[in-house]
Structure 1
Amino acid sequence: MMDRKKAYQKGPVFWVSAVVILLLVVWGAVVPDSFASVANSVYSFTTNAFGWFYLLSVVFFVLFCMYLAISKYGKIRLGKDGERPEYPFFTWIGMLFSAGFGVGLVFWGVAEPMTHFANPPAGFGVEGETEQAAKLAMRYSFFHWGVHQWSVFTVVGLVMAYFQYRKDRKSLISETISTGTPDKRKKSWRGIINILAVIATVMGVATSLGFGILQINGGLNYMYDLPQNATIQIVITLILLVLYMTSSTTGLNKGIKYLSNLNLALALGLMLFVLFLGPTVFILESFTVAAGGYIQKFIEMSFYMTPYEGGTWVKDWTVFYWAWVIAWSPFIGSFVARVSRGRSIREMIFGVLIVPPFIAMVWIAVFGGAAFHLDLFQGTAIADAVNEDVTSALFVTLEEFPLTTILSTLSIFLICIFLVTSADSATFVLGMMTSDGDLNPTLFSKLVWGTLIAAISAVLIISSGLQGLQTASLVSALPFTVILIIMCFNLFKSLRRDAKSYEVEKERNLLNKLQSTSNKQKTKISRQSNDDTPHR
């Protein structure tokens, strides 16, 4: 009864966001050709006009996180002073990893390095399918899944956790921004900001869900000759919808927590199997070389574009990745904030900015390195297979290992669990964002958002495939990038005010202490003087 009553009390953020997404679903379902045409045009315009803006913005987020981590603000706790973390470290990392990029990493872990291996970035003068192409491909794969990606999640999570747990504000993006508008307009501006955050989140999650659905279909096709078509993909979508909505009924401390631990354990188990049964030394050496190149070329890759050479490689890869993670960031940031209460700013930044990227780079080195070794030294044609069907990349690689059927089946199961975890987390966060920051959103809210995420994902796949998924993230992320920058400046201003207040309070306490000490000394001297006075 309470859920039903609260459902009818949803504000404009819920209804406007839901209607916008629903209209997109209807458009894509009724006239998919028109939807695909517009999506392609918008994608081209956005990458050409704003690619530079995405690159510079993410560099700013990296620098901002690094500054806070080493500054005096790093010791500030995301909660009340003395509060301890809510979740153990392993569970915390598992939640971050699963929600952050689990399914995306499984999809691109082999596909990205092998795609770059066959078609190296323009401007480097490297021939495809050579040793130099492999080094460059691994380095750029590290770059795309490394610190830059997680700096965006860190910024949003940090800002939201700070204002939510130290300033006792609601768990909303709008609560982290000072709009500077008159009081009578603040409410409407905050509503617009929250609506943009919700739409960006839905598009970002739908992109990842779409990748996973395509990969599951690709794996089933490769293993069991199941057709790759819209009907199968819709069936997979419906099955996943039932699974993650079932999981969402158990709450954060049961469904998401247990699935996150299972995700991390299965992923690590699969990775270790490939590492030790594959070319172990080659993989470790490849990781070492790529890590060194990543560090050495960190700045160059951060600003790399090709205005003189032309081409779309940077726009199709780096710009898309940054837009994708920015679109993801309201969801991931809200979730990171929710599970990071009690940790210090420094601990959260180092934990979020280092551990998940490190795991991602190891994953890419293991699976991408194994695929490189097979193509370069054993005469396989994994790169050609990936060029024909990017969704089959992981399964083509696993075919060269013992227990192929078991490993491939386990991989499909892992993808499903990752998708369920991400979508479950997303429905929780979206419900929270559209119910005025309620930390226990209603089942009605989660059901609505879970259904809309599945629907928009299916529409994007059927109408435009990968191109549609990329367009959704790219366009929805553009206005939210500006919001993220404002959030950073607002956090910094608040931290400075807190620091000044802390210094004033510290000086006041010191003066009071000195005054108290002085008074005690005066009292002691007075007593001694009285004791030394001769008695008559």
Structure 2
Amino acid sequence: MNKATKVFYCSVLISLFFIIWGMIPKSMLPHYNLNAVSVSVHSFLINKFGWFYLLAATTFLGFCLFLIFSKYGSIRLGQDHEKPEYSYRAWFAMLFSAGMGIGLVFWGVAEPVSHYYNPPVGEGKTTEAARVAMRYSFFHWGLHPWAIYGVVALALAYFQFRKKEPGVISRVLRPLFGNKVDGAVGIAVDTLSVYATIFGVATSLGLGAIQISGGLSHLFPYVKNNIATQLIIIGAVTILFMLSAQSGLNKGIKILSNINIVLALLLMLFLLFVGPTNFIMDVFTTTIGTYVQNLPSMSLRLSPFEQSDWPRAWTIFYWAWWIAWAPFVGTFIARISRGRTIREFVIGVLVVPTVFSALWFSVFGGSSLYLEQFNHVRIMEVMEADGMETGLFFVLQHFPFGMILSGLAILLICTFFVTSADSATFVLGMQTTNGSLFPPNSIKFIWGIIQSASAAILLWTGGLQALQTASIIAAFPFTIIIILMVSSLIRSFKEEMPSLK
């Protein structure tokens, strides 16, 4: 159970192939370098199948809402007598830290400001543009992404803890494909899941290093925001998350996740009270209402008559990105959710992170738009000149204790960085040891090195964006796999109906 499987060896080879491909200079392969090929394939999928991503993500959310109110909600993710393994606080902290922690810090300022200048409808830099900017920020980080994560996590937890299957994605499909999941079909499905996890996390490590470097440069001008600084950061963080990974789930990840939540709450509450408090809470209250009111239309909006690229550049891109991350986040959430009922699980996974994300964007996005509208601070100009990663620190300096807030933000990014990488080594260990709940440290060590090396090499060669695009390409076939997972769950639930009556 703890030994490396064929999926491990296939995944390592594929990882090395893409890393080497990404290192080849564009001059040597002007039309067939990783960036050119991945952009072409990604553009084709987004342009031809954008509708498919929207319908799929909305279907996953509908399925989750159905489970809350259905008779299946009482089924326990484990045996009937089992109790949850982790407290609510530890559970919420770990699932949130793995799910999108570092992304919230990066985009908390950058996304609302971007939408304010370039809204999906209407003119930019207007009152209506500000309302739309906040609503779409809530939308992109709210119920839909957590429904995607929730479906994958629910399927894995149900089949692993209740049906005693190994905790890998291929085994979830046994009700549909039978014993074929034990052979080539299963290897292909699991290798695709590992591929999406490796490159999705490696890209995030690179982006995290860029933001930490930008923050340090903002606080300490003598620290240069360049590739050398970013590589040093990756090296330092690698040592930290490898030490944490060796300590296991109940020590390293659990402790760091609790620290993450404390730091995130401190930073958010600090800015809430030193910033425009009434304005922020008014934004939160108003935007929650318009988000719920416009959820159906936003979920299926494509702009065919306007011929606008906005939905493809933002919503469809996000949905593909969340789906690409679903194997990683879903596997991790499943591992920490043993003993909960389906109803309890779905409500927890959907509601708590969505509300926290809404509060986060209200505080950071609301403060940014307040500066833009009422203090005439041009945040977009700074982000265009110095990079998106600088937007957060530029905003914080306009409020009392700006240096303290910026230092706290850097510390939060670092802990999120370590937790995400730590969680990913654990998940990759599970996925490549046939679902072992306690993957060996040697396997986790190998994946940790591959992740960090991928991020460092691709930062050095400028191929990080290409790798991000390549990982999102995996979202298309994985969307089909998630649809099959839903079908497999429904079939298995129906088989349990006699015992539920």
Q: Is TM more than 0.5 here?
A: yes
Partners of 1:128 and 1:376 in 2: CA distance:
12
Alignment CA distance shift 1:471-1:346 (3 Å): same
Which amino acid is the alignment partner of residue 171 of structure 2? E
CA contact (8 A) 2:171 2:181 kept: no
Partners of 2:486 and 2:261 in 1: CA distance:
31
Give the counterpart of 2:302 among 302, 305, 309.
Answer: 305
Aligned to 1:379: 376
Partners of 1:206 and 1:32 in 2: CA distance:
21
Matches within 5 A, 1:69-108: 69-108=68-107
Give the counterpart of 1:232 among 224, 229, 232.
Answer: 229
Which amino acid is the alignment partner of residue 328 of structure 2? F
- Residue 404 of structure 1 deviates from its aligned partner by 1.9
5+ residue gaps, structure 1, are: 504-536
- Residue 391 of structure 1 deviates from its aligned partner by 0.9
Partners of 2:82 and 2:76 in 1: CA distance:
8
Moved more, 483-492 or 299-308: 299-308
Aligned to 1:315: 312
SS in 1 for 2:474: helix
Moved more, 267-276 or 112-121: 112-121
- Residue 384 of structure 1 deviates from its aligned partner by 2.0
Aligned to 2:420: 422
CA contact (8 A) 1:46 1:474 kept: no
Aligned to 2:363: 366
Aligned to 2:215: 219
SS in 1 for 2:79: coil
Aligned to 1:390: 388
The answer on 1:152 being equivalent to 2:145 is: no
SS in 2 for 1:297: helix
Which amino acid is the alignment partner of residue 47 of structure 2? N
Matches within 5 A, 1:266-415: 266-388=263-385, 389-415=387-413
The answer on 1:12 being equivalent to 2:13 is: no
Aligned to 1:132: 128
Partners of 2:188 and 2:155 in 1: CA distance:
19
Partners of 1:305 and 1:356 in 2: CA distance:
26
Partners of 2:202 and 2:179 in 1: CA distance:
35
CA contact (8 A) 1:207 1:472 kept: no
SS in 1 for 2:183: helix
CA contact (8 A) 1:283 1:369 kept: yes
Which amino acid is the alignment partner of residue 188 of structure 2? I
Percent identical among aligned pairs is 48
Alignment CA distance shift 1:373-1:25 (3 Å): same
CA contact (8 A) 1:117 1:129 kept: yes
Alignment CA distance shift 1:55-1:75 (3 Å): same
Partners of 1:313 and 1:362 in 2: CA distance:
25
Aligned to 2:30: none
Which amino acid is the alignment partner of residue 12 of structure 1? K
Aligned to 1:120: 119
- Structure number with larger C-alpha Rg: 1
CA contact (8 A) 2:175 2:491 kept: no
CA deviations on 1:85-128 (whole Å, 9 max, x unpaired) are 1111111111111111000111001110011111111xx22x21
CA contact (8 A) 2:23 2:458 kept: no
Aligned to 2:451: 453
CA contact (8 A) 2:199 2:468 kept: no
Aligned to 1:523: none
CA contact (8 A) 1:36 1:464 kept: no
Partners of 2:464 and 2:110 in 1: CA distance:
13
- Residue 413 of structure 1 deviates from its aligned partner by 1.1
Superposition CA RMSD, Å: 1.8
CA deviations on 1:165-192 (whole Å, 9 max, x unpaired) are 1111111101100375585784111111
CA deviations on 1:467-516 (whole Å, 9 max, x unpaired) are 4354133202111111111001101100001113544xxxxxxxxxxxxx
* TM-score, length-scaled by structure 1: 0.89
Partners of 2:41 and 2:102 in 1: CA distance:
26
Partners of 2:461 and 2:34 in 1: CA distance:
7
- Residue 457 of structure 1 deviates from its aligned partner by 2.6
CA deviations on 1:278-303 (whole Å, 9 max, x unpaired) are 00000011111111110111001000
Give the counterpart of 2:25 among 31, 52, 57.
Answer: 31
Moved more, 170-179 or 83-92: 170-179
* TM-score, length-scaled by structure 2: 0.95
The answer on 1:170 being equivalent to 2:169 is: no
Moved more, 22-31 or 452-461: 452-461
Which amino acid is the alignment partner of residue 469 of structure 2? T
Matches within 5 A, 1:458-473: 458-464=456-462, 467-468=465-466, 470-473=468-471
Partners of 1:185 and 1:405 in 2: CA distance:
54
- Residue 230 of structure 1 deviates from its aligned partner by 2.5
Partners of 2:476 and 2:457 in 1: CA distance:
21
Which amino acid is the alignment partner of residue 278 of structure 1? G
The answer on 1:202 being equivalent to 2:198 is: yes
CA contact (8 A) 1:179 1:186 kept: no
Which amino acid is the alignment partner of residue 172 of structure 2? T
Aligned to 1:533: none
- Residue 241 of structure 1 deviates from its aligned partner by 1.4
5+ residue gaps, structure 2, are: 28-32
Partners of 1:461 and 1:307 in 2: CA distance:
36
Which amino acid is the alignment partner of residue 250 of structure 2? N
CA deviations on 1:405-427 (whole Å, 9 max, x unpaired) are 22212111110100100110110
Moved more, 456-465 or 200-209: 456-465
Partners of 1:386 and 1:69 in 2: CA distance:
42
Moved more, 383-392 or 237-246: 383-392
Partners of 2:157 and 2:402 in 1: CA distance:
44
CA contact (8 A) 1:204 1:325 kept: no
Which amino acid is the alignment partner of residue 69 of structure 1? I
CA contact (8 A) 1:117 1:383 kept: no
The answer on 1:21 being equivalent to 2:15 is: yes
